[in-house]
Amino acid sequence: MNHVFPPAAQVVLHVAGREALFPVRRVYCVGRNYADHAAEMGADTREPPFFFSKPADALVPGGGDVTYPPMTSNLQHEVELVVALGKGGSSIPADQALECVFGYAVGFDLTRRDLQSRAKDKGHPWDMGKGFDQSGPISDIQPVAVVGHPGKVAIWLKVNGELRQSGELAQMSWKVAEVIANLSTYVCLAPGDLIFTGTPAGVSTVVRGDVLEGGVEGVGELTVRIV
């Protein structure tokens, strides 16, 4: 049977050091997973993990130029470790969750903070604050077989050479295995799923012309220019 119009292209990411592509299925994000960022967003206690999503075609593989989005005057950056799943399942035990990880990447969760804040105040969904076009720049995926599972390593982001975010993955309130296990109680995870795992403190506003450079030690770096 024919399609009524050509189907959208499969979103894929490059796998570092291999002639291979990682097909993306779904993109999940963890909110407020670093205590210092949670505090700057107004939370004062460790919360159970909560999740939101971005559409797969909001990803910007490899970074590069990102268009400043409409309907905002407060675009903010969030640098994150991204988990790429090679296996999935439901209600995955935490002590088995890392077996599902294919690799890791560096991602920027770009946020229309003014839209998100208004949505929070009204109890509305965050979709238009988080899931807009080009809101998810992401680096190549580093396979676990090469880099292992990152632990107490640095995560950072600079804007125009000035350090804005600096932390360690060890500061995550919920570690990677816990995040996977908890998320899998809500949805059936599958190969191709990505999980943005949260950001340290220091998020700030960016404007056209700004250059964002971020990285996770041992995983990689990512550069974006807002145009």
- Give the per-residue pLDDT at 39: 59
- Kindly report which listed range (48-52, 151-155, 168-172) carries the lowest average pLDDT score: 48-52
Whole-number average pLDDT of the chain? 95
CB 134 within 8 A of CB 117: no
**Please, which pLDDT band fits residue 178 given cuts at 50, 70 and 90?**
very high
Q: Is the pTM of this model over 0.75?
A: yes
Query: Does the pLDDT at position 160 exceed 80?
Result: yes
| Tens-place pLDDT, residues 111-133 | 999 999 999 999 999 999 999 99
| Tens-place pLDDT, residues 75-106 | 999 999 999 999 999 999 999 999 999 999 99
CA distances, 160 to each of 92, 167, 219 (Å) = 41, 19, 22
Identify the burial level of 114 via C-beta atoms within 10 angstroms of its C-beta, where 0-12 means exposed, 13-18 middle and 19 or more buried: middle
Residue 108 backbone dihedrals phi, psi, to 5 degrees: -110, 120
